[in-house]
Amino acid sequence: MKAVFVLLALVISACFAQKCTTTIDCGPGNKCVDGNCKVRPECPMYTPPQLKPGCHLETVLDEKGCPKYKQVC
């Protein structure tokens, strides 16, 4: 099942890849490879935490420059 999910994610990312000329053109946690933004393999895929009432999520960068979620109350 995990292999099917990974294959599906790769197909979708190949079809809808963001175009770039430098890594600056890509979002946090991505890098420019051959004119397309690709996910950096050193960045873990974080899942958003459960929100407490009255809180919201912000995306922040960790020490490696990878995006992660921070709950702000």
Phi-psi region of 11 (alpha: psi -120 to 50; beta: other; left: phi over 0): alpha
**pLDDT value at residue 7:** 62
**Could you read off the pLDDT of 40-66 as tens digits, one per residue?**
888 887 787 889 999 999 988 888 888
Q: Which two tokens stand for residue 3?
A: 């292999």
**pLDDT value at residue 57:** 92
Q: Cα–Cα distance between 65 and 20 in angstroms, integer?
A: 18
**pLDDT value at residue 16:** 61
Domain boundaries, the chain: 16-72
Q: Cα–Cα distance between 8 and 14 in angstroms, integer?
A: 10
**Could you read off the pLDDT of 3-42 as tens digits, one per residue?**
766 666 666 655 566 889 988 898 888 889 999 998 888 8
